Amino acid sequence: MTRVLDAVPQPRARSASVEVVVVGGGVIGTAAAWQLARRGHEVVVLEKAELCHPRVSPHGAARVYRQGCTSPLHVKLAVESLQRWRELEHETGASLLTLTGGIDHGDPKRIAAVARTLAAHDVRHAWLDRDEAAARWPGMQFDGPVLHQPDSAGRLRADQAVAALTAAAMGRGATVRYSTPVEQIEVLGRDLAEVHTPGGSIRTRRVVLAAGAWTAGLVGDLVPLPPLQVTEEQPAVFPLVGGTPSVPTELRWPTFVHHTGPDDGWPGGVYGVGVPCAGVKVGFGGAGPRWDPDGTDPAPEQAQLSRLQDYVGEFLPGLDAGAPTRFRCAFVSTPDAEFLLERTGPLVVAAGFSGHGFKFATALGRMVSDLVGDPDPESRRAPASSR
């Protein structure tokens, strides 16, 4: 349970012992910790799970990176994020982002909107007809014209990316504590909060809440949040027909989005990304069942997997639809599908990224750091809040 203490003047003894506490050691929390530590802040990251737990965002090998969005803000964030992923690679020596190119097909109005936004931001793209695209990518079939972005989409190595963000933050002085759940957060004043864990309490000037599916339960009534819907998505990795070769051909598959419509018969839009030495990860977006993060895990939906196999059989003939490896991941969404980045007193909330946070993570880390109260004068490429 979370409770609020009135923001009344406090005795001098009740001062912060740590400047910033970040709750959540996934991609957003570690990206924020890296940016905060780069600016010289004292940072402690608290992660409830053990390292590499499957419910934490570093789980898995591949996440989509793409600049193909209809929102101008999201394109700006994706462009900024690319620069910051490269900065992280330079700082850590890790290879994290592979640009394989990206394609969109399906709903013509949606794709045209993506093309207009790309053109407005000078992101290179081209139109291909269906036959031309099928000849270029023989393992795929397409629903109408194809929008190709040759150098602004690809694959992020998720597990290595969060490890690199964590290492970079720690290299600049941050402390990261795994298996440390937060039990309660108290607001003691405008610039003072206390974070309670089983091992003790920490007084801090700012708390960054980047706890994914657990955000609403931790915030309680401290911040007036919109309803956060948590769903469990169930994508799968499908091997290439004939098995995965020693040279990972799947990395030459473009990152793709099929913008399906309500009359197409699929549970949602479809995305895909190559997974090193495994095949191609394919999933429906936002089609999973509701999930209570403090309850039991929902049973896998066999019907949804069967529909995903049907989709692969129809549109991705280069993949073996009969040999999926299923994954499970949580999506957290706001009612209007916008990101939630807000500060109230000493609390900064970062939530509602609905499966899209990874591609923007390094830029979102910068935005969270700005909200903590220390704007970076060299990175004013996006507003301080997306809402």
Cα 96 from Cα 89, distance rounded (Å)? 7
Report d(CA 67, CA 74) in Å as an integer.
8
The one-letter code for the residue type at 56 is V
Return the pLDDT at 248: 54
Residue whose tokens read 């929390």: 29
Q: How far apart are the first and last CA of the chain?
A: 27
Judge residue 358's burial from the number of C-beta atoms within 10 Å of its C-beta, 0-12 exposed, 13-18 middle, 19 or more buried.
Answer: buried
The angle formed by the CA atoms of residues 249, 250 and 253, to the nearest 5 degrees, is 110
pLDDT, one tens digit for every residue, the chain (387 residues): 333 333 333 333 355 699 999 999 999 999 999 999 999 999 999 999 876 555 554 457 899 999 999 999 999 999 999 999 999 999 999 999 999 999 999 999 999 999 999 999 999 999 999 999 999 999 999 999 999 999 999 999 998 999 999 999 999 999 999 999 999 999 999 999 999 999 999 999 999 999 999 999 999 999 999 999 998 889 999 999 986 554 455 557 999 999 998 889 999 999 999 998 899 999 999 888 888 888 777 677 888 899 999 999 999 999 999 999 998 888 899 998 889 999 999 999 999 997 789 999 999 999 999 999 865 444 333 333 333
| Residue-wise pLDDT tens digits, 294-344 | 877 767 788 889 999 999 999 999 999 999 999 888 889 999 888 999 999
Q: What is the pLDDT of residue 61?
A: 80
Residue 215 CA to residue 225 CA, distance in Å, equals 10
| Residues forming a β-bridge with 258 | 105, 270
Tell me the per-residue pLDDT of 219-254, one tens digit each, with 9 for 90 and over.
999 999 999 999 888 999 999 998 655 445 555 799
- Rounded CA-CA distance 338/351 in Å is 10
- What does the pLDDT read at residue 312? 98
* 3-state SS, residue 6: coil
Q: If 0-12 CB within 10 Å is exposed, 13-18 middle and 19+ buried, where does residue 160 land? A: middle
d(CA 183, CA 2): 8
Q: Can you spell out the DSSP letters for 78-123?
A: HHHHHHHHHHHHHHH----EEE--EEEEE-HHHHHHHHHHHHHTT-
* CA-based R_g, the chain, Å: 21
- In this structure, what are the phi and psi dihedrals at residue 49, rounded to the nearest 5 degrees? -90, 165
- Say which residues have a Cβ less than 8 Å from residue 52's Cβ, sequence separation at least 6: 58, 59, 159
Contacts of 35 (CB under 8 A, 6+ apart): 365, 366, 368, 369, 376
pLDDT on residue 294: 81
Instruction: Give 109's contacts (C-beta < 8 A, 6+ positions apart).
Output: none
**So what's the pLDDT on residue 247?**
46
Q: What is the DSSP letter of 372?
A: H
Cα–Cα distance, 275 to 252 (Å, whole number)? 10
Asked if residue 117 lies in contact with residue 69, where contact means CB atoms within 8 angstroms, the answer is: yes
Classify residue 95 as exposed, middle or buried by CB count within 10 Å of its CB (0-12, 13-18, 19+): exposed
pLDDT value at residue 226: 92
- Torsion angle, alpha carbons of 250, 306, 261, 288, to 10: -90
Domains with residue ranges and CATH for the chain? 1-100+152-227+336-387 (3.50.50.60), 102-150+229-333 (3.30.9.10)
Cα–chain center distance at 227: 19
pLDDT at 250: 57
Q: Are 269 and 193 in contact (CB under 8 A)?
A: no
Q: Tell me, what's the pLDDT at 98? A: 95
